[in-house]
Structure 1
Amino acid sequence: MNRPLQTVTVAEAATNRLRDSLFAGHFKSGEEIKDTHIADEYGIARPTARIAVQHLVNEGMLVREPGYSARVRTFDPAQVRDIFRVRKLIELDAVRAVKASGVALDGVRRAVDDLAGLGDDLDWARIAEADAAFHKSVVDAGGSSRLSAYFEGITKEIRLLLALPKEHYGRGSSPFEEHEELFLLLAGDATMKQLEKAWTYHLDESCDFLVRRLSA
């Protein structure tokens, strides 16, 4: 049975395009995002542009003080640590649930394959998207719709954080190798202690890297 294409309004399309631009690192932290600029750039009416900008304000990607244009959200080290604190709680809970239930990991395997498919592709937006998809697939495999919904909320913050530096992934020579290692531990016979240690190291390394960059 054919499924009809989802109708997307102009405001939704502009929101998606602007969000993708933020995730791709096209804007600097704290950079001003004027409604008039978005309207001109996207060829849309200013009220529509304002709706798109406000959507991203509501998502926490942008901030807007009364009477001023929106700006790209900035982060300080304490905020980064808090984001990763929540992220670690959710992901480790999912990892424990997956290991205890023995649930099929087809979605996680596909996410790893997508990372492998990047090859030597240096398109940072695609790398960050594949990274986020891997971690989301693990959380989804954990079987809690509420935790998946919470994780979806902070994933956007993490994507925006990842758009700041463009040379991460320190343990392996590629993002694929680093995440494949985690997948093999999750799917294999590693003990819970070994799995939690590896997962915690992975997340702590990412957090520490971002904190160092922000502090610098």
Structure 2
Amino acid sequence: MREAVRPVSIVEAVCAAIRERILTGELEPATVLYEQATADMFGVARPTAKAAIDRLVSGGLLRRSANRPAYVPRLTEEDVHDLYFSRFAIETRAVSFLASSGERPERAEQALREFDSAVRGTSVQGIVSSDIAFHHALVESVGSPRMLRMYDSIIGEAQMCMVLKQTHRLLSSRSIAREHRQIFNAIVAGDADGAQAALERHLVRSERVIRSHVRAADSTGSGTRSVAD
């Protein structure tokens, strides 16, 4: 049986390329992305580069002030706290709903398997991707387009936090896998309180270690650099 493959637009392709460079650290925090330089880098028209940059700004992987070019943000301790505060509000409601409604989020279960595979292969990018996929699948499984849009608006910054967590080995990937499984098992068992408690422990522990790392590194921040440098 043939599988349908969704064509990827040029804008999506440029978005994906920039996203990968940010999440692998090739584009460091404070790097400025000028539209024309970005267009030249990928061999596309300037409007295409602008559209890709705009999407990444909307997704939180880039930031831009009024009348200024976009840049890769350097997350502060306050940023991390606010991000996890927002994630907690959305994700605890999601797992409570799923457990109470007897849902078995199949995409989340698939993400658990992908996470285990990434851990065995020691792939940082695979671990981060499957970590995001697990949490995203929980919210997506609720079936609320508005909740999902709110979550998608912070997912880029969540990825940046997960990259920090993995590249600096702030938490064991195997312990993260166990915590994901505890959340999933509580949902499947219909234990809304247990699912919320497991998720809260998971998020609080991640926030604590990431904030500690950012606080320790905060004094070593450097100035901005251009994507064309």
TM-score for both structures, normalised by structure 2: 0.79
Q: RCO higher in 1 or 2 (8 Å CA, sep ≥ 6)?
A: 2
The answer for the alignment partner of 2:14 in structure 1 is 14
Q: Note if contact 1:171-1:178 (Cα within 8 Å) is conserved in structure 2.
A: no
* Residue aligning to 1:185: 186
Aligned to 1:176: 177
Amino acid at match of 2:103: V
Please give the secondary structure, in 1, of the residue aligned with 2:174: coil
Aligned partner letter, 2:53: V
Identity %: 25
Q: Distance in 1 between matches of 2:57 and 2:121?
A: 31
Using the alignment, how far apart are the partners of 1:8 and 1:194 within structure 2? Answer: 40
- Which residue is 2:93 aligned to? 93
Q: How many angstroms apart in 1 are the aligned matches of 2:192 and 2:11?
A: 46
Rounded to whole Å, the distance in 2 between the matches of 1:23 and 1:66 is 25
Paired AA for residue 195 in structure 1:
A
TM-score, structure 1 as length reference? 0.84
Deviation at 1:131, TM superposition (A): 0.4
Residues 106 and 34 from structure 1, CA distance in 2 versus in 1: closer, same or farther, beyond 3 angstroms?
same
Deviations 1:66-116 (A, max 9, x none): 665432012221221111111111111111111111123322211211112
Gaps of 5+ in 1: none
Q: Unpaired runs of 5+ in structure 2?
A: 217-229
Partners of 1:5 and 1:173 in 2: how far apart?
33
CA RMSD of the aligned region, Å? Answer: 2.7
Deviation per CA, 1:139-185: give whole Å up to 9, x if none: 12233332122112211221123233424563663543332232223
SS across alignment from 1:143: coil
* Corresponding position of 1:41: 41
1:88–1:200 Cα contact (<8 Å) kept = yes
Change (3 A) 1:105 1:68: closer
